Amino acid sequence: MLDYNVYTFKWHEYLLIALTAGAVLFVIGFIFYQNVILALLFSFIGFYYPKIRKKKLIKKRKAELSRQFQQALFSLSSSLVAGRSIENAFREVTNDLYLLYPGKETLIIREFEQINKLLENRETIESALEDFSRRAGVEDISNFTDVFVTCKRTGGDLVEVIRRTANMINEKFEIQQEISVMVAQKRFESNALAVAPIGIVALLTYSSKDYMEPMYQWSEFGPIIMTICLGILVFSFWICQRIMDIEV
């Protein structure tokens, strides 16, 4: 089954992402150094970008799984309130999820189908959930699994636990949505501010070559100054992204 902590690109996807990033970096490198060889060397950094992209896709997939898991918990709670057993309630959840998410490729549907298969093979519900939690690597799912297993063994109120967990995930999602709306404009501004210096350097280079000429001469230490400026620009962009990457 799928390990949500791992994301594997197909070779053509990896190549496309790396070459696209490399092309962008080549343009930036040429603007700052006016040297094809240095720009080409700078573009090789683009082969590191798939790792960054991979982390973003893993985070996005986990967020999607957490949201779908919340809907599954609402359905599970309703089935238990209706008097179904735990095992039958999990089977009923899959049918409800088909109505919400048409298509077997939906993450949460695949996971609940896997849980039901394990139950049919005489696995316990606890071990099935623990397997799902381990592969998901999502805090909400891990917390629910821990509480569920404890309640199952000690005879706790499973309906109340599931209901509260679903409400907690929903509140967390709403807070994340509010934060995303609040920082959307600032994120756009930070991206614009990151691109603006590159545009200014390009404008000055091609409109006033004599003015920028010293910045491309090694005898004047111009490329060294350009490298320092580019490093400051990258560091500032990284800091802005870290500030706006708010976890709930």
Q: What is the pLDDT of residues 122-131, one digit of tens each?
A: 888 889 999 9
Domain spans, the chain: 11-244
- Place 90 in a pLDDT band, splitting at 50, 70 and 90: confident
pLDDT at residue 26 tops 90: yes
Q: What is the pLDDT of residues 174-226, one digit of tens each?
A: 888 888 888 888 888 888 888 899 999 999 888 887 888 888 888 778 889 99
pLDDT at residue 71 tops 90: no
**Cα 84 to Cα 219: distance, rounded to the nearest angstrom:** 81
Q: Is 103 left (phi over 0), alpha (psi -120 to 50) or beta?
A: left
Q: Can you read off the two tokens belonging to residue 25?
A: 């970096």
pLDDT at residue 25 tops 80: yes
Q: Can you read off the two tokens belonging to residue 177?
A: 């949505």
Residue at 1: amino acid letter: M
Q: Is 63 left (phi over 0), alpha (psi -120 to 50) or beta?
A: alpha
